[in-house]
A = this chain, B = another copy of it.
Amino acid sequence: MNQVGTVFERFRKARKDARERAALDQLLDDARQLMTERGESNSIAIATRALEHYRHLGPEATQQFFEVLARDYDPDPAEVLRHAQQYAETRSPDALIELGRVADPPRQALLRRLNLAPDGTGTLVAMRARLLDRLKHDPSLRAVDADFQHLLSSWFNPGFLQLVEVDWNSPAQLLEKLIAHEAVHEIDGWADLRRRLEPDRRCFAFFHPALPGEPLIFVEVALLEEMPGAIAPLLDRKGEPNTAADRFRVAAFYSISNCQPGLRGVNLGNFLIKRVADRLKTQFPRLKTFCTLSPIPGLAGWLAKVQKLESGRLKPAAVAALQAGLEYLRERYGKDWSLLATPADEADARTAEGKRLETDRQLLQRLCAFFLLHTAPGDSRGSDPVARFHLNNGARLERINPAADLSRKGIRQSHGLMVNYLYDLDEIESNHEKFSDGRVSASRAVLSLF
């Protein structure tokens, strides 16, 4: 760029900065005014103005706004302390009410009032998404984020959500969003989507009345005669749909995707799966099995890094054997375990090499079972997030499937393995409780691997 250009650029940037600064100033003014409002009478007008200013902020001004939120909208520590003492002394309802008033972060009051604006909810969800981006670099925003999560969880209460069945008769606009947000098994255009909406496939989404036309989360289901052991046939665009609805016995949840990054930490998936299961049960009384066909995104990383296997559940001898097996596999296959991902073929059984490969594959399955059986509740870094999600929902670890996902991603993440989690509606409650106490429910088939 020549000099004139540079000067001009600098000028433009300066002007833009000035505009943003002005918008930020006005936003902060509006925020202050919202907080002094008694009775909320003008709140809608002020909130509308405030969010309009917010939408003009660039990245820097946004960060500054978040910093103000973190700094100036905390409860007053002295006040809180004073009322906490009063409450501890009197235990009276009035003292408690007063305590609530001063301990409730002013930030929450502010966000609640911003939410009065038309499209307030949508804007706040988007604001949270930007906040989460910043949060990675700036832990001082943690309390701000906690307030967001607290409020969004209340506003996105499952009782307020609408379950919508998505099919080929749904608006193209909505279907386009599904294509964009599918996170598990990418949808490759309209023909691909159409296969997933044939009569032996189902798709359901949650909507919130304040975000019309915006799906929050959706799940894709295959109606089958048997529990599926591989993903490819479910996605196969040329596969003939099974129209014999009276032969459906299994509903397999094969993909679940969030559409709103700003709602992270707001529990939606669990409720979605259960409401969909209820709905399908009513439509197809012969359905017996509700399960998933799930990826294991944490497996390959764990296999590569884990040092010492430990188990409070298996016998030491079994653990030791697995440890030895793991080291053997590492030595034998090095960094490229792709041979283990390929399906067994008939020829394998005839050669020594083939037999050994087959044994190694079974060893890999056992290691996978070990990995999943030791999924920990809570936000433990070591374990698999998909496993944690389903097990915490009350599902059971049902079956490990070899050579189940031969896509590049499937081989990289989990050496081609996938897993079925089973939602047995009668056992969900007790499974969930067991998992909360640290114990993973598993089928006999899985347990017999050891």
A interface residues with partner B (beta carbon < 8 Å): 38-42, 44-45, 70, 74-75, 77-78, 80-81, 84-85, 87-88, 91, 93-94, 96-97, 99-100, 103, 105, 112, 115-121, 139-144, 146-147, 150-151, 153-155, 157-160, 162, 168-173, 175-176, 189-190, 194, 209-210, 267, 270-271, 274, 377, 392-394, 428-429, 432-433, 436
Contact A171 B169 (CB under 8 A): yes
* Chain B, residue nearest A428 (CB): B42
Contact B151 A38 (CB under 8 A): no
Contact A40 B81 (CB under 8 A): no
Contact A77 B87 (CB under 8 A): yes
Contact A40 B74 (CB under 8 A): no
Contact for A81 among B84, B147, B210, CB less than 8 A: B84
Contact B210 A159 (CB under 8 A): yes
Per the bound structure, the CA–CA distance linking A170 and B176 in Å amounts to 12
Q: Whole-angstrom distance from the CB of A269 to the nearest CB of chain B?
A: 11
**Residues in B neighbouring A81, C-beta threshold 8 A:** 81, 84-85, 87-88
Per the bound structure, the CA–CA distance linking A112 and B377 in Å amounts to 23
Contact B100 A429 (CB under 8 A): no
**Residues in B neighbouring A80, C-beta threshold 8 A:** 84, 87-88, 99, 103
Q: A41-B393, A81-B81, A96-B146 are in contact. List 16 more A-B contacts (CB 8 A).
A: A41-B270, A41-B432, A75-B96, A81-B87, A84-B84, A97-B142, A100-B146, A100-B150, A112-B154, A120-B159, A154-B154, A162-B209, A169-B171, A169-B172, A172-B172, A172-B190
* Chain B, residue nearest A179 (CB): B190
Contact B42 A432 (CB under 8 A): yes
**Residues in B neighbouring A93, C-beta threshold 8 A:** 70, 139-144, 146
Per the bound structure, the CA–CA distance linking A159 and B51 in Å amounts to 14
Q: Whole-angstrom distance from the CB of A138 to the nearest CB of chain B?
A: 10
Contact B154 A155 (CB under 8 A): yes
Contact B40 A270 (CB under 8 A): yes
Contact A157 B270 (CB under 8 A): no
Per the bound structure, the CA–CA distance linking A78 and B88 in Å amounts to 7
Contact B112 A91 (CB under 8 A): no
Q: Whole-angstrom distance from the CB of A223 to the nearest CB of chain B?
A: 20
Per the bound structure, the CA–CA distance linking A394 and B45 in Å amounts to 12
Contact A142 B94 (CB under 8 A): yes
Contact B171 A170 (CB under 8 A): yes
Contact B158 A44 (CB under 8 A): yes
Instruction: Give 9 A-B contacts (CB < 8 Å), ordered by A residue.
Output: A40-B270, A41-B432, A44-B158, A77-B84, A97-B142, A121-B160, A168-B171, A171-B172, A172-B172
Contact B267 A40 (CB under 8 A): yes
Contact A436 B77 (CB under 8 A): no
Per the bound structure, the CA–CA distance linking A194 and B154 in Å amounts to 37
* Chain B, residue nearest A88 (CB): B77
Contact for A44 among B75, B194, B210, B271, CB less than 8 A: B271
**Residues in B neighbouring A84, C-beta threshold 8 A:** 77, 80-81, 84-85, 103
Per the bound structure, the CA–CA distance linking A87 and B84 in Å amounts to 12
Contact A115 B159 (CB under 8 A): yes
Contact B42 A97 (CB under 8 A): no
The 7 A-B residue pairs with the shortest CB-CB distance in the complex, in nearest-first order: A93-B143, A84-B84, A77-B88, A103-B103, A209-B209, A93-B142, A169-B171
Contact B394 A96 (CB under 8 A): no
**Residues in B neighbouring A42, C-beta threshold 8 A:** 394, 428-429, 432-433
